[in-house]
Chain A
Amino acid sequence: MFGLDKKDASLLLIVAALVAFAPFLLNPFPEGSAMAQFNAGYPDLMQRFVIFGIFAIGFNILFGLTGYLSFGHAAFLGVGSYAAVWMFKLLSMNVLPAIILAVITSGIFALVIGYVSLRRSGIYFSILTLAFAQMSFALAYSVLTPITGGETGLQLALDDPRILGSATTAEGNIPVPGLFGLEMRDSAELMFGNWVFTFNVGYYFAAIVMLLSFYLAIRIFRSPFGMMLRAVKSNQQRLNYTGLNPRPYTLAAFVISGMYAGLAGGLMASMDPLAGAERMFWTASGEVVLMTILGGVGTLIGPVLGAGMIKYMENIISKINSDILHSWFAFLPDGLEDLIVTMIYPFIGKGWHLTLGIVFMLVVIFLPGGLVEGGQRVAKLFGRKKADETKSAKTEPAE
């Protein structure tokens, strides 16, 4: 189906189903209950899941297949965001031209940075990309203020030209990004008893884009090009002596993954039309590396899982405060309650990075293949149990 084999097609369908029903799946707890804060089914967070999913899928095409670890991919995300916001300022509030320009701009940017950085491999490549990204950040933050808005970031204004659309709405406000009249921030709510499910236009738009990029990634993974990229990772010497030039292959992978990052950046700006230099900061580049490794390097679904996990922790764990902890452990005697709350406190709220760090270490040490390997091990465990059961079921009648 869609030119995929059965396994890949079913993976794509599962991901499509998960994404389509995410507003239900991520909101399992009724509104007002104690667990409601673990609900992740609100538009802003769901948009982040899929957008960072795209970012990580693209990063995985470079890192997972060729093994070249880029530490500067956030630069392409930032460039994509700036390009999209400029499109909103100059052309119209339609997200399509904005996203297209974001992808093209970041692709050109990736071509230049990749051409220089790919002259080296290993740690030198990583440092070169990091240096380029930090240079881009510094430029965006200060020197290029007329283009990037500097410290305050690039924002829409009432006096922007928007030659193909209206500069202001009828009420005199700045218009919001949309797709042919469909506003990205529009949501429909479905009440079901105490449960509230939100269906957001922006989320579903981003989700469709994510599914398309996921599909494209599967095709690339299974193509001769993808095979060559894995060969680059495996043995460059043999590749050279087999008559193949590794350089254009790695450059193509770099540009493709840069364009994925630009697509993510463009979508980010479409959901919330502003762009800031902090999107290019090196911690943002590091984050996508964590996502990919956490989920499973070189696997198809891993980066999406990793992105979801990190964004979930960032948004949910960081919201827990000491009052909430006290209410959870209120059933315990006072002294014990205080002790437990004091012990857990460093790991929540602003300390969520500590939790992330621990989870990351545990995954890298015990599951080097990331969450995907964890899933495979669990599946194997159940598979064996099932096999044992059928075996015993077969032997029983013989007795």
Chain B
Amino acid sequence: MGLLEVKDVNKRFGGLQALGNVNLSVAENSCHAIIGPNGAGKSTLLNCLVGKLIPDTGSVMFDGQSVLGRTPFEINQMGISRVFQTPEIFGDLTVMENMLIPCFARRDGSFALHGIRSVMSEGELRDQAEAMLDDVNMLDKRNMHSASMSRGDKRRLEMAMCLVQNPKLLLLDEPTAGMARADTNNTIDLLKEIKEKRNITIAIIEHDMHVVFSLAERITVLAQGTPLVEDTPENIKGHPKVKEAYLGEAA
């Protein structure tokens, strides 16, 4: 059984069947990509995994527990971290503060009233945050106002914020959307490095085939809300159904 098991998930928005009988199994320590043309239901599926949407029918099991009906912060506490399509960081805070917040969330849970002792006195968490920043080569930017950074840096910061929590599953929603080629390659390298170093399970939604084929071990192709095929990258490349539905124009 995989770390994440999606069974017969259906989601309907009015007359639109956004997801129809989606089944998905993400094995532990693998990188699983979900691809598909625009409107295939990739983002809807992702939102069902993190508690933003609740499927009409079906089940989503993570690590043996159902995530359905839980709020996003509860699901994060279960071990799922999500990187957004446009970087979501705390723009008014410094890079270091951005890193400390997930550290506190991991140590103290979803709420803790530490109103008196100073943030500066949290040596252990600061070390953790700094080590992670060093890993993503951002240690020199730790006192920067995070809103003033470039988009690529914001993305790296967001990923570092997710990783410092040591999640069991990292969800990436088009992590290279709108990035220049060089930045895309940097992100691929970063993700590869993360995978090797941390033995983390990654589920990635991506448009860019270059990214998908350089990272994924399994690929699920969605079209019109239903999975067409699930296979290894080599087989997906040559699959006639996939070509027809998705790669058709590109190939």
Question: Which of A's residues lie within 8 Å of B, judged by CB?
Answer: 3-5, 219-220, 222-228, 230-231, 233-235, 237-245, 248-249, 252, 256
A234 touches B93 (CB 8 A): yes
Query: Is there contact, CB below 8 Å, between A248 and B72?
Result: no
Q: Does B106 sit at the interface, judged by CB under 8 A?
A: yes
> Contact at A230–B100, with CB atoms within 8 Å?
no
Q: Is the CB of B89 within 8 A of A235?
A: yes
B146 CB → nearest A CB, Å? 9
Task: Decide if B112 touches A224 in the complex (CB within 8 Å).
Answer: yes
A-B contact count (CB 8 A): 107
Interface string of B119-132 (1 = CB under 8 A from A): 11010000000000
Contacts of B110 in A (CB 8 A): 243-245
Complex interface residues of chain B between 77 and 106 (CB less than 8 A to chain A)? 77, 81-82, 84, 88-93, 97, 100-102, 104-106
Say whether A245 contacts B111, CB under 8 Å: yes
21 contacts between A and B (CB under 8 A): A220-B115, A223-B115, A223-B118, A224-B112, A234-B91, A238-B88, A239-B73, A239-B101, A240-B73, A241-B72, A241-B84, A242-B81, A242-B105, A242-B161, A243-B76, A243-B77, A243-B102, A243-B110, A244-B110, A245-B110, A248-B111
Q: Known A223-B117, A227-B119; judge A241-B101 contact (CB<8 A).
A: no
User: In the assembly, what is the distance between CA of A231 and CA of B146, in Å?
Assistant: 12
Nearest-Cβ distance from residue B149 to partner chain A, whole angstroms: 14
What residues of chain A lie closer than 8 Å to B82, measured between beta carbons? Answer: 241
The CA-CA distance from A231 to B91 in the complex, in Å, is 9
A224-B90 contact in complex given A243-B77, A244-B110, C-beta closer than 8 Å: no
| Chain B residue at smallest Cβ distance from A240 | B72
A230:B93 contact, CB within 8 angstroms: yes
| CB-based closest 6 A-B pairs | A243-B76, A243-B105, A234-B92, A234-B90, A245-B110, A225-B115
CA distance A227 to B92 in the complex (A): 11
Given the interface pairs A230-B92, A234-B91, the reply to whether A240 lies near B116 with Cβ below 8 Å is no
Residues of chain B at interface, number, CB under 8 A: 37
Q: A227-B93, A231-B101, A234-B92 are in contact. Are A241 and B120 (CB under 8 A)?
A: no
B10 CB-CB contact with A under 8 Å = no
Chain B's nearest CB lies how many Å from the CB of A240? Answer: 4
Cβ–Cβ contact B115 & A241, under 8 A: no
Give CA–CA (A223, B116) in the complex, Å. Answer: 6
Identify which of B73, B88, B120 contacts A243 (C-beta below 8 A). B73
**Given known contacts A227-B97, A230-B93, A241 and B88 CB-to-CB distance under 8 angstroms:** yes
Bound-state Cα–Cα, A225 to B88, Å: 21
- Shortest Cβ distance from residue B153 to the other chain A in the assembled complex, whole angstroms: 16
**Are A224 and B92 in touch, CB under 8 angstroms?**
no
- Which residues on the B side are within 8 Å of A224 (C-beta)? 100, 104, 112, 114, 117, 119, 122
CA distance A256 to B115 in the complex (A): 11
Residues of chain A within 8 A of B102, CB atoms compared = 242-243
Closest to B109 in A: A243
Could you say which of A220, A227, A238, A248 has the most chain B C-beta atoms within 10 Å of its C-beta? A238
**Contact assessment for B111 and A242 in the assembled complex, using a CB-CB cutoff below 8 Å:** no
Partner among A5, A219, A239, A242 whose Cβ is within 8 Å of the Cβ of B115 = A219
Q: Are A245 and B73 in contact (CB under 8 A)?
A: yes
- Of all chain A residues, which has the CB nearest B82? A241
With a cutoff of 8 Å between Cβ atoms, the chain A residues found around residue B104 in the complex are 224, 228, 244
Contact A243 B91 (CB under 8 A): no
A249 & B111 in contact (Cβ 8 Å cutoff)? yes
Given contacts A239-B73, A256-B115, 7 further A-B contacts (CB under 8 A): A5-B118, A227-B101, A233-B92, A235-B90, A240-B73, A242-B165, A243-B106
Interface centre among B81, B82, B90, by most chain A C-beta atoms within 10 angstroms, is B90
| Minimum Cβ distance to chain B for residue A7 (Å) | 12
